[in-house]
């Protein structure tokens, strides 16, 4: 896939324009070490795909990035903002980082449009009309201009997930996190969600995506990070990890999801 819209991003040396920096993050639940010394950097405009077996710590890592959970040690930065600093307001973090979950968590008593305007009015302090215009713009961006007045119960799983993406995009995030956004969907509905994500890649959005959709990873990822038992086993460009990984564990994993 071409990425012309990302400007000269592909000509840069890796690590020269970091947006997200994760340094030696550790996290345990009780006696279980869920993240062991995880470090990674995501440059502006990059799309990092995070893969690994169930229970390897992928969701926990995203939750640490968005301050939905606290690290035990290590630090995470979004540009100059230290996300993990105790004095950092989690709401500031979530205002700059959008997240889309596997479970489609829309408010069921609100229309698609209202689901999007809510944050704009409550968090961004937009007036109703401005929020409405912005919401309609974002719903159009995800191909749902004609569903703005529908309630979640009237939408397919793929459409609901796209409303969730529109809601996150409306806040104008610097970084988008996706946690298995298509794993609860049938293949056909997955495709419409993946198409929206591919469009975001084309637009140059910086993204960290947990997914087992290797077609998306092949086409859109700048890098793949393979996590196993809370450790980054290896990271590299998609071709290398798919065809010629350094580690037997990585090869076995890709074999298992093929």
User: Which positions lie near Mg ion, rule CB under 5 A?
Assistant: 58-59
Two tokens, residue 198 = 């591919």
Between 58 and 113, name the residue whose CB sits nearer to Mg ion. Answer: 58
Q: How far is the CB of 96 from ligand ADP (least distance, A)?
A: 22
Between 148 and 168, name the residue whose CB sits nearer to Mg ion. Answer: 168
What is the contact mask toward ligand ADP in residues 38 to 57, using x (rule: CB under 6 A)? --------------x-xxxx
Between 70 and 89, name the residue whose CB sits nearer to Mg ion. Answer: 70
| 237: partner contacted, choices ligand ADP, Mg ion, none (Cβ within 5-8 A by kind) | none
Helix or strand holding residue 206 (H, E): strand 206-210
34 forms part of the interface with ligand ADP (CB under 6 A): yes
Q: Which of 20, 22, 25, 58 binds ligand ADP (CB under 6 A)?
A: 58
Between 62 and 189, name the residue whose CB sits nearer to ligand ADP. Answer: 62
> Is the Cβ–Cβ distance between 222 and 199 less than 8 Å?
no
Q: How far is the CB of 136 from ligand ADP (least distance, A)?
A: 34
Beta strands in 1-64 (DSSP E): 18-29, 32-43, 47-51
d(CA 169, CA 181): 15
29 forms part of the interface with ligand ADP (CB under 6 A): yes
60 forms part of the interface with ligand ADP (CB under 6 A): yes
Pairing, β 47-51 against β 223-228: parallel
d(CA 27, CA 57): 9
Q: How far is the CB of 231 from ligand ADP (least distance, A)?
A: 12
User: How many residues of this chain interact with ligand ADP, rule: CB under 6 A?
Assistant: 11
The sheet with strand 81-82 has its strands ordered as 32-43, 18-29, 73-78, 81-82
User: How many alpha carbons fall within 13 Å on the CB side of residue 13?
Assistant: 2
107 forms part of the interface with ligand ADP (CB under 6 A): no
**Binding segment for ligand ADP among 4-12, 29-37, 79-87, 89-97 (CB under 6 A)?**
29-37
220 forms part of the interface with ligand ADP (CB under 6 A): no
What is the contact mask toward ligand ADP in residues 150 to 189, using x (rule: CB under 6 A)? ----------------------------------------
Pairing, β 97-100 against β 47-51: unpaired
Q: What are phi and psi of 137, to 5 degrees?
A: -60, -45
Between 170 and 197, name the residue whose CB sits nearer to Mg ion. Answer: 197
Instruction: Give residues with Cβ within 8 angstroms of 211, minimum separation 6.
Output: 49, 51, 178, 180, 181, 182, 183, 217
Between 52 and 119, name the residue whose CB sits nearer to ligand ADP. Answer: 52
Closest C-alpha among 210, 164, 189, 182 to residue 47: 210
- Write out the residues near ligand ADP by the rule CB under 6 A: 29, 32, 34, 52, 54-60
């Amino acid at each position: 896939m071409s990425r012309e819209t990302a400007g000269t991003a592909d000509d840069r040396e890796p690590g020269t324009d970091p947006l997200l920096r994760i340094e030696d993050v550790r996290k345990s639940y009780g006696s279980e070490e869920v993240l062991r010394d995880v470090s990674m950097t995501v440059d502006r405009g990059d799309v990092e795909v995070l893969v690994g077996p169930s229970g390897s710590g992928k969701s926990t890592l995203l939750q640490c990035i968005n301050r939905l959970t606290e690290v035990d040690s290590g630090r995470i930065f979004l540009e100059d903002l230290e996300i993990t600093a105790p004095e950092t307001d989690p709401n500031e973090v979530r205002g700059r980082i959008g997240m889309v979950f596997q479970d489609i968590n829309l408010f069921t008593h609100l229309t698609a449009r209202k689901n999007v305007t809510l944050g704009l009015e409550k968090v961004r302090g937009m007036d109703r009309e401005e929020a409405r215009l912005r919401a309609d713009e974002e719903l159009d961006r995800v191909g749902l201009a004609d569903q703005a007045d529908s309630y979640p119960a009237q939408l397919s799983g793929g459409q609901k997930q796209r409303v969730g993406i529109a809601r996150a995009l409306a806040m104008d995030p610097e970084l988008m996190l996706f946690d298995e956004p298509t794993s609860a969907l049938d293949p056909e509905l997955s495709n419409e969600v993946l198409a929206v994500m591919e469009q975001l890649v084309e637009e140059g959005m910086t993204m960290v995506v947990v997914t087992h959709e290797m077609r998306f990873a092949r086409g859109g990822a700048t890098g793949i990070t393979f996590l196993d038992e809370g450790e980054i086993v290896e990271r590299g460009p998609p071709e290398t990890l798919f065809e010629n990984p350094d580690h037997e564990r990585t090869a076995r994993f890709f074999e298992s999801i093929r």
